[in-house]
């Protein structure tokens, strides 16, 4: 048999009353303006990554190029070969690689601080490779764009 102290019983009684009256649910549903703004920024960053993510499937370098600032650099290695490209060269590499119709992705995390953000996106079966991409993004006006990317090609390194 479970023994309940008087304090535990009082806590459960109050909790039960709050749940029954809907006060606890109302308190949990209230989001602060900062929480709402942060949530909206996460959604905007996911949207900013979409041209890049779609280009993995389609092999469309022009589409991926739209996601990057002009100054952006992309650094990583495949098969032990280091690649350090500007955004235009990277767009050409996407074109050269062609479509990867079976590619899958997962946005592992997004971290936002004002107009600066970072994101990690995992890809599997992009041209037969698995990639972990780390993006640095910046918001200019209302538009998030990728400022830089570093990546790991896992087993092909």
Q: Vertex 122, ends 71 and 80: CA angle to 5°?
A: 70
CA distance 111 to 45: 10
85 pLDDT higher than 90:
yes
Residue 129 CA: distances (Å) to CA of 28, 55, 63, 106, 152: 43, 15, 21, 15, 10
- Max Cα distance, the chain (Å): 72
Cα 101 → chain centroid: 21
Q: What is the pLDDT of residues 5-46, one digit of tens each?
A: 445 544 444 445 444 444 444 445 677 877 777 789 999 999
Return mean pLDDT, the chain.
86
Q: Phi-psi region for residue 79, left (φ > 0), alpha (ψ -120 to 50) or beta?
A: left
Task: Give all strands (DSSP E) within the chain, no chain letters.
Answer: 68-78, 81-86, 104-113, 116-126, 129-140, 143-152
Residues 45 and 137: their CA atoms lie apart, in Å, by 8
Residue 73: burial class (beta carbons within 10 Å; 0-12, 13-18, 19+): middle
Whether the per-residue pLDDT at 49 is higher than 90: the answer is: yes
Q: What is the pLDDT of residues 86-101, one digit of tens each?
A: 999 999 999 999 999 9
Percent of the chain at pLDDT > 90 equals 72
pLDDT given for residue 7 in this prediction? 52
Starting at the earlier edge strand, list the strands of the sheet with 116-126: 81-86, 68-78, 143-152, 129-140, 116-126, 104-113
């Amino acid at each position: 048999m479970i023994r309940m102290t008087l304090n535990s019983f009082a806590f459960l009684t109050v909790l039960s009353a709050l749940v029954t009256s809907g006060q606890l649910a109302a308190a949990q549903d209230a989001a602060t303006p900062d929480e709402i703004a942060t949530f909206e920024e996460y959604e905007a960053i996911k949207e900013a990554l979409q041209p890049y993510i779609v280009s993995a499937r389609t092999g469309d370098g022009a589409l991926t190029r739209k996601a990057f600032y002009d100054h952006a650099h992309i650094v990583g290695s495949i098969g032990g070969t280091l690649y350090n490209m500007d955004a235009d060269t990277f767009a050409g590499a996407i074109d050269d690689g062609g479509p990867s119709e079976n590619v899958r992705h997962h946005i592992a995390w997004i971290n936002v601080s004002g107009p600066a953000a970072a994101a990690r996106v995992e890809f599997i079966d992009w041209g037969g490779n698995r990639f972990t991409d780390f993006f640095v993004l910046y918001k200019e006006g209302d538009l998030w764009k990728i400022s830089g990317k570093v990546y790991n090609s896992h087993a092909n390194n």
